[in-house]
Amino acid sequence: MADKSFLNEVNRRRTFAIISHPDAGKTTLTEKLLLYGGAIRLAGSVKARRAQKHAVSDWMEIEKQRGISVTSSVLQFEYNNYCVNILDTPGHQDFSEDTYRTLMAADSAVMVIDCAKGVEPQTKKLFEVCRMRGIPIFTFINKLDRAGKHPFELMEEIEKVLGIQSYPMNWPIGTDGDFKGVFDRQKHQIEVFHEKNHGQSIVESTVSDVSDPAFKDLLGESYHNQLMEEIELLDMAGDDYDLNKILKGELTPVFFGSAMTTFGVKPFLEYFLSTTNPPSGRMSNHGEISPENDNFTGFVFKIQANMNPAHRDRIAFIRICSGEFEKGMEVNHVRVNKKVRLSQPQQFLAQDRVVVEKAYPGDIIGVHDPGIFNIGDTLCQDGSKTEYEGIPMFASEHFAKVYAKDSMKRKQFLKGVTQLAEEGAIQVYRQLYIGTEELIIGVVGVLQFEVLEFRLQNEYGVEIKMQQLPYKHVRWVEMKDFDPDTFKTTTDTLIVEDDNEKPVLLFQNEWSIQRVAERNPDAVLKEISVH
């Protein structure tokens, strides 16, 4: 039986990722959350991205050159006796599969939306992954200190573009650039925005109703009337508050605020921590494994190479799912059926690495990887051979034909490409009836092509040639007796196979996907494949 202090450690963990489109305010919000928590472990990315907007490479020249953070990190802090793990995700447009995979290790998500821009493309993509996992999603609509879209328009966008119900927890007053504050729908109070001192004060309703004359005195008649009308409309026509739906990711509670001025961040954090779940069970080949299970288990969700160029090491990031982790413990690497000692575990993973003595379900640790881990591998303390469900391969959106300039370097080329694919930086496809001199590489963000070129040259001494291909969509084919010779495609479709020799189709447009689906009714075309 798990002891009480262990259970307490599990139950106070909250592990989440922040999803947003670049510039919506993810970094700012993260910083403010850390401020409240007095971060105990602060990963490089936030600090660095802020301190020197361009520069600071955690691990790769390319980051320096581009002034962006290519990889994600983990931040941990304590707040009100919660132990909070934030999984940071790259914010640049050229984000990669890593961003998606990080979401596989999160128990919930915070979605940041810029009030002037609404739901943007990257938010939508990341949201889809959260939805696929059915994790709770908490929305923070940011930058209310500036003029933005009308809150009803934003609610409609969330529902229409993302297809999720929403429940505004508070409602902004003065969204045309004259921000007054928000009305808290549950506490029936107005949190007043003061631009000057960046603080906030609260005016409570004595009658627990938005029509309280105290609010009229505070806001003036016009704003007060508008607020009353809008709240009435929300109460009548809006979705009901439903905790069950929130926890299943079917309804998102929405907060309006301003991260930069710290307005609304604390109520959001407190609500979020008390509402969202501690780590819950995860499906494995032995059914659902509870985090309270004594047997230590975890899975690798990300592999990062050369974090420290001087050492050329790889770090495998492990999400702990059950049991207690202790430094130096020996665990089974289930896929290869070998024991490995986790001797130099690090808990957070950018510039300042901290060696962890103990860690609990919900935590992320990084362990040195001498090249034995793949994404999705399970580690397990006992001999039960527990294996968690695989981590999906997300559909690449950019494709290129790649080969070594010098054919004598083919071996190194293949080695490098294989290793980068194992890390999940790229996806490798082979054309049928063609050898491995020339591969098709698929990536989620185009920056990964630069990463590929840079790393093959720097780490494997291979110069490559790359020819961009016009394909934009990939679908894995699931079909009994798939035969590439009889499968009916369109002229602009290419049949290839992935690393696991699964048949894959590359398409140039949505239209072709539809046609091929119609022409092959027995085939299921999947956007995501599980390793």
**Residues that constitute the known binding site for GTP:** 20-27, 88-92, 142-145
Binding of residue 146 to ligand G4P (CB under 6 A): yes
Of the candidate spans 15-23, 170-178, 221-229, 425-433, the one that interacts with ligand G4P by CB under 6 A turns out to be 15-23
**Contact residue for ligand G4P among 44, 91, 136, 392 (CB under 6 A):** 91
Binding of residue 149 to ligand G4P (CB under 6 A): no
The site for ligand G4P, by CB under 6 A, has a size of 16
Taking CA 131 as the corner, what is the angle to CA 130 and CA 132, rounded to the nearest 5 degrees?
A: 90
What are the beta bridge partners of residue 506? 474, 494
**Contact residue for ligand G4P among 48, 111, 260, 395 (CB under 6 A):** 260
Q: Which is nearer to ligand G4P, 191 or 363 (CB)?
A: 191
Backbone angles phi, psi at 343, to 5 degrees: -95, -25
Residue labelled with tokens 């002891």? 3
Q: Which positions make up the binding site?
A: 20-27, 88-92, 142-145
Query: For residue 300, what is the enclosing H or E element?
Result: strand 297-305
Closest of 220, 58, 246 to residue 136, by C-alpha: 246
- Neighbouring C-alpha atoms within 13 Å toward the C-beta of 242: 12
Of the candidate spans 257-265, 297-305, 405-413, 478-486, the one that interacts with ligand G4P by CB under 6 A turns out to be 257-265
Please say whether the beta carbons of 387 and 335 come within 8 A: yes
Binding of residue 32 to ligand G4P (CB under 6 A): no
Binding of residue 265 to ligand G4P (CB under 6 A): no
Minimum distance, C-beta of residue 169 to ligand G4P, in the bound complex (Å): 17
Structure tokens at 423: 């890390």
**Contact residue for ligand G4P among 6, 14, 16, 27 (CB under 6 A):** 27
Of the candidate spans 6-14, 143-151, 182-190, 328-336, the one that interacts with ligand G4P by CB under 6 A turns out to be 143-151
Gap between the Cα atoms of 390 and 426, Å rounded: 17
Binding of residue 529 to ligand G4P (CB under 6 A): no
Q: Which is nearer to ligand G4P, 260 or 367 (CB)?
A: 260
Q: Which residues contact 287 (CB under 8 A, 6 or more apart)?
A: none
**Contact residue for ligand G4P among 26, 101, 245, 455 (CB under 6 A):** 26
Q: Which is nearer to ligand G4P, 23 or 389 (CB)?
A: 23
Please say whether the beta carbons of 362 and 107 come within 8 A: yes
Binding of residue 120 to ligand G4P (CB under 6 A): no
Closest of 361, 354, 278 to residue 39, by C-alpha: 354
Binding of residue 72 to ligand G4P (CB under 6 A): no
Binding of residue 143 to ligand G4P (CB under 6 A): yes
Residue labelled with tokens 């936030």? 46
Closest of 99, 103, 90, 78 to residue 27, by C-alpha: 90
Minimum distance, C-beta of residue 39 to ligand G4P, in the bound complex (Å): 16
Q: Which is nearer to ligand G4P, 142 or 189 (CB)?
A: 142
Please say whether the beta carbons of 264 and 258 come within 8 A: yes
**Contact residue for ligand G4P among 15, 25, 34, 141 (CB under 6 A):** 25
Q: Which is nearer to ligand G4P, 259 or 494 (CB)?
A: 259
Q: Which residues contact 124 (CB under 8 A, 6 or more apart)?
A: 161, 162
CA-to-CA separations, 280 to 7, 269, 302, 326, 505, in angstroms, rounded: 12, 20, 20, 21, 36
Q: Which is nearer to ligand G4P, 26 or 224 (CB)?
A: 26
**Contact residue for ligand G4P among 190, 259, 349, 365 (CB under 6 A):** 259
Binding of residue 67 to ligand G4P (CB under 6 A): no
Cβ count near 268 (within 10 Å): 24
Please say whether the beta carbons of 292 and 7 come within 8 A: yes
Q: Which is nearer to ligand G4P, 28 or 57 (CB)?
A: 28
Binding of residue 281 to ligand G4P (CB under 6 A): no
Q: Which is nearer to ligand G4P, 23 or 157 (CB)?
A: 23
Minimum distance, C-beta of residue 348 to ligand G4P, in the bound complex (Å): 18
Minimum distance, C-beta of residue 43 to ligand G4P, in the bound complex (Å): 14
Binding of residue 22 to ligand G4P (CB under 6 A): yes
Q: Which is nearer to ligand G4P, 24 or 169 (CB)?
A: 24
Ranges assigned E (strand) in 149-238: 165-168, 170-173, 181-184, 189-193, 200-204
Q: Which residues contact 496 (CB under 8 A, 6 or more apart)?
A: 429, 430, 431, 432, 440, 503, 504, 505, 506
The contact pattern for ligand G4P, residues 441-480, with x = CB under 6 A and - = no contact, is ----------------------------------------
CA-to-CA separations, 136 to 131, 170, 253, 512, in angstroms, rounded: 8, 18, 9, 34
The DSSP result for 343-409, as a single string, is -S-BSS-SSS--B-SEE-TT-EEEEEESS---TT-EEESSSS---BPPPEEPPP-EEEEEEESSGGG
Q: Which is nearer to ligand G4P, 110 or 246 (CB)?
A: 110
Minimum distance, C-beta of residue 18 to ligand G4P, in the bound complex (Å): 8
Binding of residue 181 to ligand G4P (CB under 6 A): no
Binding of residue 94 to ligand G4P (CB under 6 A): no
Gap between the Cα atoms of 278 and 290, Å rounded: 11
Please say whether the beta carbons of 256 and 141 come within 8 A: yes
**Contact residue for ligand G4P among 10, 24, 130, 504 (CB under 6 A):** 24
Backbone angles phi, psi at 154, to 5 degrees: -65, -40
Minimum distance, C-beta of residue 261 to ligand G4P, in the bound complex (Å): 6
**Contact residue for ligand G4P among 12, 23, 131, 326 (CB under 6 A):** 23
Binding of residue 75 to ligand G4P (CB under 6 A): no
DSSP 8-state code for residue 527: S
Q: Which spans of this chain sit near ligand G4P (rule: CB under 6 A)?
A: 20, 22-28, 91, 142-143, 145-146, 258-260
